[in-house]
Structure 1
């Protein structure tokens, strides 16, 4: 089998390793994304730090030192005409903040406007430029005029940029935590693995520690106690218990022995195992889960369209409101529409109006609206993955919270999906193990799902043999939907339902009829066995109901979710549930069309086969209580999204009028632009933090007392 390990060995064997060395890229796709996120955090932190270094003296010279007589006198010293040392210092220090540190806002504005839209960067660029260039105007006027007295707003532009960069830093820091689920999943893979070399007889020749990324299909890997399983595969030798909670959410360690499958990234609890790798690299269950969670976090939920529609008109509306605010206050001042006592001593009516206009522009926050849905979806899908509930996209998450009707596929979903023989009644004097010899020999060539149950039960009478050889069956015939017949030991054996017996003119005794009626009343399948034209016995086969199924249905009822069981296509049932938001729960084997047709399709018991295309939500375990977890988690996520929208809209609806000076006439309270900018940054951070609270999600308490234990058949 060819793989990366072979390529590296071939390259090294050519002798070219003196010039260069072949190795696996340490920065894989996932690692690259993680390093990009860390670099983004570093960039914002560095930008904020440099901004703070320049902004602090600007703030001190304009807001603090003016109240210290000695320093104030020095700052008020004239340089040229009315231009003071303080104004020069503020101009020099705020310029790099505006154009070097704050260049990202110009770049973002240009890109947005080039594509015919406006974003938060446009508002920041307009607001800070208005403050900065008006201040430059006052500096030029002061330097050229012996009697000009004006106020600069260099501290406004510098502090605005500093607070917004702080907000952005906190935002990317918090957003990074929303994708922690992916990072944790990626860290499950062990760094190294022990590769075994075997001889032709299967004996271990040598052991070699290799990079786990160099594992190839069909490699034999040794897993020691306490180590992580290095690859998906199956057990060749040994037995142990493996903790699969990090992949499937299953709390209890799972027993593993020869032939059992194992999942890469899980932890070996005790014994030593030798496994054969079957799925490596991007094919592994862990890699598929990471891809699925990543795509879910990138996909837009339909509810996001609401924010997109608002954002489309938000920025132009804010610019218009900002200009209207400035114009209204400016005209009111010029026309003496308010007392002159309202104007601060350091300003005139134009500057007061400019402050209100800039405050409106920078307090408005479309970012909070834009972050409301994706951050909650990212956290919600990550939490789901840690619980073994894989939600494929935002649409599935949104659909699940609306579900008020669940259709359960019976076989393999409400039931275990493994039929077993629960009763045998012999109608004639016959030894039980001889009876099952004939039945098993007849059934062994059949592919019917019930065949395995009969064969497994028959093996109990041949406990001394692991794979017993059954007597030869001649003239085997399978009658679809009815049963099978064959000649075994010169006896004609027919195994099947009542119709098959009647077709072969076999009389069904009253005792057999009574037992068939009894089995059907207990939701079991009755099978008749005829030997040489005479019914000799009746088998009762049952597919046991999963433990906890009844309690799960009861809990769903308390959540106002209707539950329906289907065992086949039923038009009347389909018509009756057409008006509901329907979730279909199946095992993904024979119910893919139904999973696709439902509003939300849930595949249960997927195990390592998490790439079930038909399902919107994949439940890794076979526990029905995960259906409740999926619906409950989606409801919690969407209540968080609603809360985010209420906060984001409420903040803008209240904040913009206050920034425009709605409270100023009655209370004298106004928001300086730098405080408005800080409020805007805080609003985005608060939305992200609100979404992060979903990380504390706990399953419904009712599920904690729900016993999903083993199955006992009598």
Structure 2
């Protein structure tokens, strides 16, 4: 088996709570793996393996903790956890019911101590295997988990009852129903929790199910052949008919149609597509027939990148989760100590052995560290899945937390709040150069740039003659330059970026030859749809809006006034933009919104970089938040989801802390039967998971 030097994924069976997931993560990190995150809901761990550690060694490290680990193909994995838990719970329940029945029915057989022992023994054996193994390994590794508490409580009740049976001490010493009920109720809680956790990852399952299994490839002979989608190679020509999903990312080389891109944009209206347009794998062709050239395959596609981002939702933790992690780390030893103290306080206070034992067992089984461990990751996974359905990609839980606390949002202008579809208002030559020569220089350079202005100029002057250009250099935030066959250097740059002495008095774009201005172009742009509405909503939330651009001051002020933006910084160089963002960050949490093409430094500097992207792999990797299809109104979706997520996390943590702080003293004072305590503990986790699942149906 080869070393996994990049991203790896391993199945981890046997995890029952958040502490288990934390234990696996710490083990793998200590082992040398990086970027580790453990997905409790899908029972797996994902990691980066820069040291090239062998898979067998990774498996061995996890199995030392008492879990079952294996590397498998995702498509072949079959989760048997539900089935196994269902069998254990069903058997335990059938045997426990008669044990509990003796408390309500006066049948002699139900009160027979040997009959009770015979019923309880199999249940205890199930509990010993299910909880005991995990408890043993957690103690060996000095990371005690919840199973230690459950196993200790059920064992104490069982052996106390066994002693009463063997020593003929009478019915007051028999608590078989307590031991069996603890195991049965906790198994029920585990089963329901597991089913609930699977629902939190439904977004991943839905996205994964959209992968296209087959494709029609056009051979060199012109014949069509059906192939497996995983056999598609970059450059292959593929045929897509009406009603079929596009098999992979590509570019249309023939045909036209309408494509439903809702899986990546959240927009249900089909988008018209013609030759030269990009299409995204797994989107649905509603009308027409297309031939596409594959531009990305396998793990390099947009859908694969989206799935990776959603899968890695818990790979970065919000700072608020650290509170729960710190408490969970010391929780079990503290509860064990409280249980011991409870036992002896009852004894020294003159209580009976039975009261002391039942109170201490109740303390053990009612406490629940798992709720604290689940409070954050369940909410984060659901929130990021919900955002993905809306066409918003969010990179991890820490991004959600930061986004929820943003006070200032800085916008780039061109291609971000404006359409980027520029209209040439005026063109003026300087010196002896003709307009045709000027246009030729422009298109020969701008074809090398992906900037919106470059695309507009290239389209406007597409009939101009192209001249050979070498040594092309794109100057971020400034323009582009290159040298022709005669050694003359041409530049197409933003006019405000030129030194004052060389800057034309007016105009937006300057064309230079060997440092001298040979032409000036005036361009016009318009505000994007929904920008005014989005800015108004941001103001309602108390968020300051800023426009930061290298464009002329008069144009920036006009656009900002039209959009309702609070502050304007115009005619700024890339270096000045970075300093302005730093200054804002010194006063409040700041996000920067750019088009994902020429804003990399600003996106990196801001605490939250938000990219408006046409869903390219490069753009997906460049920011913490990506708004697919450049829809600015999706910014509000991102903010609202992050705020709802943070509110849900706080609710979950409050419940987890309040439950334990209130329940443990009640149990210690003997006010709770251990069976009721076990029932309460079993449902405390479900309360947290259920509250997180509410995010799926909340309106934003």
Both structures adopt the same fold (TM-score exceeding 0.5): yes
Aligned with 2:415: secondary structure?
helix
Equivalence for 2:105: 65
Equivalence for 1:593: 601
Residues 128 and 454 of structure 1: CA distance in aligned 2, closer, same or farther (over 3 Å): closer
Separation (CA, whole Å) in 2 of partners of 1:91 and 1:484? 87
Contact kept? 2:302, 2:616, Cα under 8 Å: yes
Residues 610 and 473 of structure 1: CA distance in aligned 2, closer, same or farther (over 3 Å): closer
Partner of residue 127 from structure 1, selected from 146, 153, 161 = 153
Contact kept? 2:160, 2:173, Cα under 8 Å: no
Residues 635 and 49 of structure 1: CA distance in aligned 2, closer, same or farther (over 3 Å): same
- Structure 1 unmatched runs, 5+: 1-26, 77-85, 335-348, 428-433, 460-467, 488-492, 520-524, 665-669, 700-714
2:692 aligned with 1:691, yes or no? yes
TM-score normalised over the length of structure 1: 0.75
Equivalence for 2:203: 181
Partner of residue 49 from structure 1, selected from 90, 104, 107 = 90
Equivalence for 1:559: 541
* Number of residue equivalences: 589
- Structure 2 unmatched runs, 5+: 1-70, 485-489, 550-572
What aligned pairs does 1:262-661 form with structure 2 within 5 A after superposition?
262-333=279-350, 349-423=352-426, 437-447=436-446, 450=453, 452-458=455-461, 468=463, 470=465, 516=506, 525=508, 539-567=521-549, 568=573, 569-570=575-576, 571=579, 574-609=582-617, 612-661=620-669
How far 1:606 moved relative to its partner?
4.5
Equivalence for 2:678: 677
Aligned with 2:545: secondary structure?
strand
How far 1:648 moved relative to its partner?
1.0
Residues 307 and 502 of structure 1: CA distance in aligned 2, closer, same or farther (over 3 Å): closer
Contact kept? 1:440, 1:455, Cα under 8 Å: no
Post-superposition CA distance 1:211-256 (Å, at most 9, x none): 2222222222211111111111111211001001112223321111
Partner of residue 87 from structure 1, selected from 113, 117, 127 = 113
Residues 442 and 373 of structure 1: CA distance in aligned 2, closer, same or farther (over 3 Å): closer
Aligned with 2:409: secondary structure?
strand
How far 1:210 moved relative to its partner?
2.6
Separation (CA, whole Å) in 2 of partners of 1:136 and 1:529? 95
Equivalence for 2:557: none
Q: Tell me the C-alpha RMSD between the 2 structures.
A: 3.7
Post-superposition CA distance 1:19-72 (Å, at most 9, x none): xxxxxxxx9743355x23xx1122211111111122122222x22332xxxx33
How far 1:330 moved relative to its partner?
2.6
TM-score normalised over the length of structure 2: 0.76
Contact kept? 2:445, 2:492, Cα under 8 Å: no
Post-superposition CA distance 1:556-595 (Å, at most 9, x none): 1111111222223334664244121111222232322222
Separation (CA, whole Å) in 2 of partners of 1:385 and 1:592? 22
Equivalence for 1:107: 133
Separation (CA, whole Å) in 2 of partners of 1:494 and 1:373? 52
Separation (CA, whole Å) in 2 of partners of 1:632 and 1:236? 40
Residues 391 and 620 of structure 1: CA distance in aligned 2, closer, same or farther (over 3 Å): same
